[in-house]
Amino acid sequence: MYQPRTYRQRVGHQDLVSFQVRVQETDLQVAAVRKLPEETLRAVRAARELLQGHIRQYPAFLSSLEPLQAPAECPELIRRMYVAAATAGVGPMAAVAGAVAEHVGDALLPLSPQVIVENGGDIFLQTLAERTVAIHAGRSPLSGKLGLRVPADCRLGICTSSGTVGHSLSFGRADAALVVSDDAALADAVATALGNRVSSPADVAGALEWVQTVPGVRHALVIIGETLGAWGELELVRV
């Protein structure tokens, strides 16, 4: 069931323009130097065709909750999902939102030197300016009050899993399990695995110890109720 992205009402970029593109389950908010809805729509449809074609050929790709062996030949979007899932120890579809966000972002970058693609709370961005990414954590009293400061001139995936918000599958109860990586597919898959490890505030320290062992992770944060734990390179700020 579609859930309104109410957190988008707080999004603003003085130097970029924002627009939305939705194709069935894929619901994107994009910021770029100019509106590019048609180009975004083409990129979304291309990504969905790749995914749907692969699922028809390999149905377990859609349903598996564990890593799968990638076929010898598959599209780069699909390959990155297999690799991310294997690194995080989850099924490949745990990486889908981040992978699609980055796929769309890469398609738009020749037309806009700065691009931010948000796909259901999972973000790919390439920015020339410093940004602050606010953290939505459902009913936690910390929700919307904190953010990550993203430095200028960087390219990142910033993805969030939740056991209390949205329709994504999580075996934990974290209000937000956020992961930052240079690879948005990896950030998405690891965010899922991180959230799966948190059922109570007592689990936060151990979950963050685990995430530090995952290659490619630059930052991680967990919120459950009034408890917050964080590790990594980015600065946490009030918003």
At the topology level, CATH places domain 6-238 in T-fold (3.10.520)
Q: pTM here? A: 0.92
Question: CA–CA distance from 139 to each of 2, 132, 175, 197 (Å)?
Answer: 19, 21, 7, 19
Q: What is the pLDDT, as a whole number, of residue 174?
A: 94
Nearest to 78 by CA among 94, 98, 96, 66: 96
Q: What is the pLDDT, as a whole number, of residue 11?
A: 56
pLDDT band at residue 2 using 50, 70 and 90 as cut-offs: very low
Domain spans of the chain?
Answer: 6-238
Measured distance CA(138)–CA(120) in Å, rounded: 13
pLDDT band at residue 164 using 50, 70 and 90 as cut-offs: confident
Q: How much is the average pLDDT of 35-54? A: 98
Burial class (CB in 10 A: 0-12, 13-18, 19+), 226: exposed
Q: What is the pLDDT of residues 88-123, one digit of tens each?
A: 999 999 999 999 999 999 999 999 999 999 999 999
Q: What is the pLDDT, as a whole number, of residue 14?
A: 79
Q: What is the pLDDT, as a whole number, of residue 166?
A: 59
Q: How much is the average pLDDT of 133-138? A: 94
